[in-house]
Amino acid sequence: MSERAIIFDDLKEKIIADPDMVLEDQEVMRALMAAGAPTLGDNIVDLRGIALDRLESRLDRLEDTHRTVIAAAYENLAGTNQVHRAILRMLEATDFPTFLNDLSGEVSEILRVDYVRLVLETVQDDDAQNLSQLSDVLSIAEQGSIDRYIAQGRRAPIRVATLRQIRPENGDIYGESSDWIRSEACLKLDFGPGRLPGLLAFGSEDPHQFKPTQGTDLLTFFAGVFERAMQRWLA
């Protein structure tokens, strides 16, 4: 028996033992279909080849969708871990000044945001002066200014989390850093009955970090935990 025949018999045994090895290989199947094409004649439509091409296109689309879903799942998992770490760090503070310093320090680093600002509305000038001296991350605003800032002239309902690309027109929120802000996440805070609202603003120099098309579930959860932590200090 010639060497060619031995190789053929060996290959034949492997194919018979595991035919899926051939059927699942697109390149092998395409080569086999191409090898049989000349025997069909010019006037014969190869329905098998057409069907195979369509199946390959569907498989390619399915694989692309599969990769997209997996990438989104990993991104969501990474974001969840990131928010959980930031919350745990935030809850470690034993006094309000430390809480504020951590917010603009390790918490912002974990969340990978460039600027963090906490805005509290008040109607008493004495409270405003005392609070504004605690930390650079904290600023005081007049009643109703938070809703106006989030709305930006629109009449849409105010949501807990608002993500957008923006260039602040003034320094009311970010102060001297306003010129660098290109996107932000605005979290409206509800401190309970009888208390004025607050705003937690995350500013970024990256215009693509916060966009309206992104999900807000994690940031809404973060805002809920932050509200409860602040209620302890406000009490």
Span 47-93, pLDDT tens digits:
566 666 677 777 777 777 767 666 666 666 777 888 999 999 999 98
Note the pLDDT of residue 228: 92
Chain center to CA of 207: 14
Domains of the chain, by residue range, sit at 93-234
Taking the model in full, what pTM does it have?
A: 0.68
Q: pLDDT > 90: what percent of the chain?
A: 31
166 is written with which tokens?
A: 């923006």
Inter-residue contact 117 to 203 (CB < 8 Å): yes
- Among 195, 196, 190, 193, CA closest to 220: 190
- The distance from CA 204 to its chain's CA centroid, rounded to whole angstroms, is 14
pLDDT of residue 223: 95
Fold annotation for 93-234: Beta-Lactamase (3.30.450)
CA 61 from centroid of its chain's CA atoms: 24
Q: Write down the pLDDT at residue 129.
A: 55
CA atoms within 13 A on the CB side of 99: 18
Strand residues in 122-229 grouped as ranges (E): 138-141, 161-165, 183-189, 198-204
Instruction: Name the token pair of 124.
Output: 């008493």
Q: pLDDT tier at 38 (50, 70, 90 boundaries)? A: low
